[in-house]
Amino acid sequence: MKRTTLFLQAIVVAVTLLLIVTGASAQIGPPRPPIEPSVEAVLQVIIGSNDSADGNLPAGLRVLTGQLRANFPFPNYRLDSTYVGRLGGSGTFEYKSISNTIGSGPDSDTPTFLEWTLGNLRTSSDGKTIYQAEPFRFGARVPVRISSFKDEGGKVLSNVNYEAVGLTVNRVSLAANTPTLIGTISLPKTAGTLFLVLTVRPAE
């Protein structure tokens, strides 16, 4: 009887020790990476054209505009649109919408389909906060009129094809709170150019 009791006690002790060791091992596992703070990605679309009067630009873009004028001597620069997205560390932001400004068609029934993506955004700090995204994409499907005709009532109608324009950067790095020119796109059927300016900043 005593041997049976001692045997059972030994089993209980062994099981208890096993549970303690297993729990300790689970707690000693690799620590979770710290949660990176959220950031705001601000994409501003500037259009340079040969219009006589210069457009209004936000104060934060005037320094960048001076740099643009050195390479693209358009007399007119205007802010066409601003897009804002919020995302966390290693996150991805994707935007899709309809636009009537970039490469707008011959009438209101032919809008432009616009999308842009900022992927796998990460933060590094070496004395100055740097953001890196893989990738940055901006694209649009714009209507291009290929012919026109009149219906039975005399109304002029158009045949329109949608063409894809845009750019992709596999990896892009930029300093925090600094408007950075990512790329340019020629506007369809115009002498103007579209400038993509991206700013990444800590979210409030």
Gap between the Cα atoms of 89 and 105, Å rounded: 38
Give pTM, 2 decimals.
Answer: 0.74
Task: Give per-residue pLDDT as tens, 153-199.
Answer: 777 777 878 888 899 999 999 999 999 999 998 876 666 888 999 99
Task: Give per-residue pLDDT as tens, 97-130.
Answer: 887 666 554 445 778 888 999 999 888 766 578 8
Does residue 32 register a pLDDT over 50?
yes
Does residue 42 register a pLDDT over 50?
yes
Write down the pLDDT at residue 196. Answer: 95
193 vs 2, which has greater pLDDT?
193
Confidence grade of residue 25 (pLDDT, cut at 50, 70, 90)? very low
In this prediction, residues 57-76 reach a mean pLDDT of 85
In this prediction, residues 34-44 reach a mean pLDDT of 84
9 vs 24, which has greater pLDDT?
9
Gap between the Cα atoms of 76 and 73, Å rounded: 9
